[in-house]
Chain A
Amino acid sequence: MTAEIAAAPRRPIALPWARLGAGLGPGASLLYLCLLVGLPVAALADRAATARFWPAITSPPARSALLLTLVMAAVTSIVDVAAGVLIAWVLVRDSFRGRSIVNALIDLPFALPTIVAGLVLLSLYGPNSPVGVDVAQTRAAVLLALLFVTLPFVVRAVQPVLIGLDRDVEQAAECLGASGWQTFRMLIWPALRPAATVGAGLAFARSLGEFGSIVLISGNVPFHTQVASVFIAGQVESGDTSGAAAVGVVLLAAALVVLLILEVATRRGRARRA
Chain B
Amino acid sequence: MRSRLLLRVTALGYLTALLLVPVAMIGYRTFAHGIAPVWDALTTPAAQHALYLSVLVTAIAVPVNVVFGVVAGIALARRRMPAPRLVDLLINLPFAMSPVVIGLALFTLYGRGGWVGDWLAAHGLQVLFSIPGLVLATAFVCLPFVVREIVPVVEEIGAEQEQAAATLGANGWTTFWRITLPALRWALAYGVVLSTARALGEFGAVSIVSGDIVGQTQTLPLLVDERFRNFDATGAYSAGFALAVISVLVLTAMTVLSRRKERPQ
Q: B108 on the interface (CB 8 Å rule)?
A: yes
Do residues A116 and B100 form an inter-chain contact, with CB atoms below 8 A?
Answer: no
Which of A7, A28, A41, A109 interacts with B71 by CB under 8 Å? A28
Q: A27 on the interface (CB 8 Å rule)?
A: yes
Q: Mark A95-115, 1 if CB is under 8 A from B, else 0.
A: 010000010111111111111
Do residues A244 and B104 form an inter-chain contact, with CB atoms below 8 A?
Answer: yes
Q: B172 on the interface (CB 8 Å rule)?
A: yes
Do residues A211 and B99 form an inter-chain contact, with CB atoms below 8 A?
Answer: yes
**What count of chain A residues pass the 8 Å CB interface test?**
98
Q: A158 on the interface (CB 8 Å rule)?
A: no
What residue in chain A is nearest B115 (Cβ atoms)?
A: A43
* CA of A173 to CA of B104, assembled, Å: 55
Known contacts A108-B19, A111-B197, A112-B201: A12-B139 contact under CB 8 Å: no
Q: For chain A residues 143-161, which have a beta carbon within 8 Å of chain B?
A: 144, 147-148, 151
Q: Mark A33-67, 1 if CB is under 8 A from B, else 0.
A: 11011111101101100000000000000000000
Q: Kindly list 18 other residue pairs between chains A and B, CB separation below 8 angstroms, not including A120-B22, A245-B104.
A: A2-B168, A8-B168, A8-B171, A10-B169, A12-B169, A25-B74, A26-B82, A27-B82, A33-B87, A44-B109, A83-B11, A111-B250, A112-B244, A113-B200, A115-B221, A119-B228, A230-B100, A255-B97
Nearest-neighbour CB distance to chain B for A204, whole angstroms, equals 11
Residues of B within 8 A of A7 (CB): 169
* CA of A127 to CA of B174, assembled, Å: 60
* CA of A174 to CA of B95, assembled, Å: 43
Nearest-neighbour CB distance to chain A for B200, whole angstroms, equals 7
Q: B243 on the interface (CB 8 Å rule)?
A: yes
Do residues B243 and A236 form an inter-chain contact, with CB atoms below 8 A?
Answer: no
Which of A27, A47, A229, A255 interacts with B100 by CB under 8 Å? A229
Do residues B75 and A29 form an inter-chain contact, with CB atoms below 8 A?
Answer: yes
Pull 30 A–B residue pairs with CB atoms less than 8 Å apart, ordered by A: A5-B169, A8-B168, A9-B169, A15-B171, A15-B173, A20-B176, A22-B80, A26-B71, A26-B80, A28-B71, A37-B91, A40-B102, A41-B105, A43-B105, A93-B4, A104-B252, A108-B248, A115-B221, A119-B228, A120-B240, A124-B22, A151-B18, A209-B98, A209-B100, A229-B99, A233-B207, A241-B107, A251-B97, A252-B97, A259-B96
